[in-house]
Structure 1
Amino acid sequence: MNNLSNFFFLFVLATITITSCSKADDNNNDDWAEEQRRINRARIEALLKEQASELKTFAETNFGEDAQFDDSTGIWFKVHEPGEEGSYTRWLVPGSMGGLALSRPTVDVKYVGKLMRNGEIFDQTSEDDPKDNTRSFQLGGVIPAWDLAFYPKEVRLNGNDYQIGGLTEKGLQKGAIIEFVAPSPYCYDNKEQKDKDGEVTIPSDSPLHFYVEVVDIRDKK
């Protein structure tokens, strides 16, 4: 089975393990950077292990017998509606340097985002405001948990199977509804999020709970 040179997994890993560094002596910089990556990987692995039991408890309590678990990420999810099969299939596109790359479709969604630990809503679309009834995002520009939710596990193209690494077999389709809880490294990690008034809406190291309805998924024009 092909794996796009682990493109997706490398993308996610890079997204959740970015560390800042200052310039150092050329002879020492690579070693210093690798040590920082090692420390950060260890930190993330510890967080995933630490949060595993509370995510499991939440999923079993709230998702019931339909709860599904992705053991490579620690994400729990429930597919409420599968959506229109085949409404989006162009997950792989020609790469700029040859070969294949993941597409970055635009998704139109309705959603609610909550802090898993206390159920507090930190963001949501509005049923009452036509201007905020849906929101649009381009995949690859969202938190890793959302990318994982949208992309499929694998794609068959021209007789070859390509392992992608998403949560569901065929990826989210138009009309799909998914609910998931993700450990903090796949959300905002150790970076707290604030609103326009400077109030913290998402504390650092917070696992998050999302309910997402896919209104449309399309290639960006």
Structure 2
Amino acid sequence: MNNLSKFLFLFAVATICITSCSKSDDNNNDWADEQRRRDSLNRVRIEALLEEQAPILKDFAEEHIPGAVLDDSTGIWFKIHEPGEEGSYTRWLVPSSMGGLALARPTVEVKYTGKLLTGEVFDETSEDDPKDKTRSFQIGNDNMGGGLIPAWNLAFYPKEIRLNGNDYKIGGLTEKGLQKGAAIELVAPSPYCYDNREQKNKEGEITIPADSPLHFYIEVVDIKDKN
């Protein structure tokens, strides 16, 4: 199962679990069938976007991010500019309240710039503003609830984790995940950014059109477990 399928599958399961609680037994089957139909159409839509945007991202990466490598399962191109302090964060898996293991959701402090492929900056931290030199986020939360876009979550999490003699495939972009002091540059297809949801500023102006691939430069100032 590729990373796109995993994201869609997990989101669909979460949606079904939450919503079905409010449905009567008589309507569950019809609702589930409709949900599967919508999920199938959404997968087709996203796969078409990934295919359409792949050559655009390839050309962009070759021109603007020399040395970038492609993550085949997502279509994200990335380059590690600084590896960071090895071992500064390793606690990627934690005990789950439901039993077993779950992904940790550490807090990251970053400097970053986000651009459209036109080069237009839509968001960035500021060296000139003491209150905005860095920003903090909790990774592992999807952007539907105000969390990080999938491309950022994939950038921070490692590909695989070995714990107590067992290997766990996570699906991140890098071998060990981003560490304190790391710097990564990436360009991601729109389904791993804001997908078909346009983003607006406080004045109501569109800053990120729907279906926009995005270009980021991220510096990790710190990464630690949430207090």
Q: Same fold (TM over 0.5)?
A: yes
**Equivalent of residue 60 in structure 2, options 50, 58, 61:** 58
Distance 1:50 1:184, change over 3 A: same
CA separation in 2, counterparts of 1:34 and 1:219? 36
Q: Which amino acid aligns with 2:68?
A: A
CA separation in 2, counterparts of 1:80 and 1:173? 12
Equivalence for 1:49:
51
CA contact (8 A) 1:17 1:37 kept: no
CA contact (8 A) 2:111 2:134 kept: yes
CA contact (8 A) 2:3 2:171 kept: no
CA separation in 2, counterparts of 1:165 and 1:70? 10
**Equivalent of residue 153 in structure 1, options 145, 154, 159:** 159
Equivalence for 2:30:
28
Per-residue CA distance 1:103-126 (angstroms, 9 max, x = gap): 00000000000002x110000000
Q: Which amino acid aligns with 2:6?
A: L
Compute the displacement of 1:160 (Å): 1.1
Compute the displacement of 1:17 (Å): 11
1:175 aligned onto 2:181: yes
Matches within 5 A, 1:93-108: 93-108=94-109
1:217 aligned onto 2:199: no
CA separation in 2, counterparts of 1:9 and 1:37? 11
Distance 1:131 1:17, change over 3 A: farther
Equivalence for 1:130:
130
The DSSP-based 3-state class of the residue aligned with 2:179 is coil
Moved more, 92-101 or 20-29: 20-29
Higher relative contact order structure (alpha carbons within 8 Å, sequence separation ≥ 6):
1
CA separation in 2, counterparts of 1:19 and 1:199? 30
- Gaps of at least 5 residues in structure 1 are none
Equivalence for 2:144:
none
Compute the displacement of 1:11 (Å): 4.5
Equivalence for 2:119:
119
CA separation in 1, counterparts of 2:3 and 2:202? 35
Identity of aligned residues (%): 70
The DSSP-based 3-state class of the residue aligned with 1:145 is helix
Equivalence for 2:206:
200
Compute the displacement of 1:183 (Å): 0.2
Per-residue CA distance 1:76-127 (angstroms, 9 max, x = gap): 00100000000000000001111110000000000000002x1100000000
CA contact (8 A) 1:9 1:165 kept: no
Number of equivalences: 215
Compute the displacement of 1:9 (Å): 6.5
Q: Which amino acid aligns with 1:150?
A: F
Distance 1:23 1:54, change over 3 A: farther
1:84 aligned onto 2:85: yes
Distance 1:7 1:45, change over 3 A: closer
CA contact (8 A) 1:19 1:36 kept: no
CA separation in 1, counterparts of 2:139 and 2:209? 24
CA separation in 2, counterparts of 1:37 and 1:78? 32
Q: Which amino acid aligns with 1:82?
A: P
Compute the displacement of 1:26 (Å): 3.1
Compute the displacement of 1:10 (Å): 3.4
CA separation in 1, counterparts of 2:4 and 2:91? 15
